[in-house]
Amino acid sequence: MTTTKWDDEALRPLREAFPWLTAVDPLDLPKLWAALMLRMTDVGLVRAQRSVPGEMAEALVASYVGGTLTTSASQKGYDVITREHERIEVKALRYTDPGRNSVAEFPFGDKGFDRLIVVCFEYDMTTREAWSIASHELDPLLTKGGRAGRGRLTLGPRAKARMEHIAPSVLLASR
């Protein structure tokens, strides 16, 4: 796997948006990260300050389906519930190499949800797309993995062929 460096040409838009960032002392970067996490919590982008892509995906999906987030950011089984009581599990994938497609694997135990929605972000957290599938259609796509009783979904061409594609313009229109 290639690691993207700050001076890579593909990251020019981020460098141009935040030119002051190169002047920050490297030892202060963790403090800057902590301050950004607190600010994102204050404005409601994240709840638990754990996984920014995961929490942003959950908020996007809740808005998209007109549902509500579970009361706990660490709720087991599902993350969003709709007005019709459909339980939605949300997964997030952030592509870390600009312009490159990745294949992501997500572990699943007992499926305590009705629908899965995977939200994909670009390296700069721009929403790329989302994929949706009913839980009862998920089993043929799961492969054995990890601990007993758990399966893995590989978000590659085979899975995408069986899932509903949600364009970013549709996903973001609900915000």
Q: What are the residue ranges spanned by the domains of the chain?
A: 51-173
Q: What is the pLDDT of residue 85?
A: 95
Average pLDDT for 91-99: 76
**Which of 140 and 46 is assigned the larger pLDDT?**
140
d(CA 101, CA 171): 20
Mean local confidence (pLDDT), 95-114: 68
Whether the pLDDT of residue 15 is over 50: the answer is: yes
Tell me what the mean pLDDT of segment 35-48 comes to.
Answer: 81
Percent residues over pLDDT 90 in the chain: 25
Q: How far apart are the first and last CA of the chain?
A: 34
Per residue in 138-167, pLDDT tens?
Answer: 888 887 765 545 677 888 888 899 999 999
Task: Give the model's pLDDT for residue 148.
Answer: 46
Residue 98 clears pLDDT 80, i.e. is over it: no
Structure tokens at 148: 């007993």
Q: Please, which pLDDT band fits residue 109 given cuts at 50, 70 and 90? A: low
Q: Residue 1 has what pLDDT?
A: 42
pLDDT of residue 172: 84
Pairing state between β 151-155 and 164-166: unpaired
CATH number of 51-173: 3.40.1350
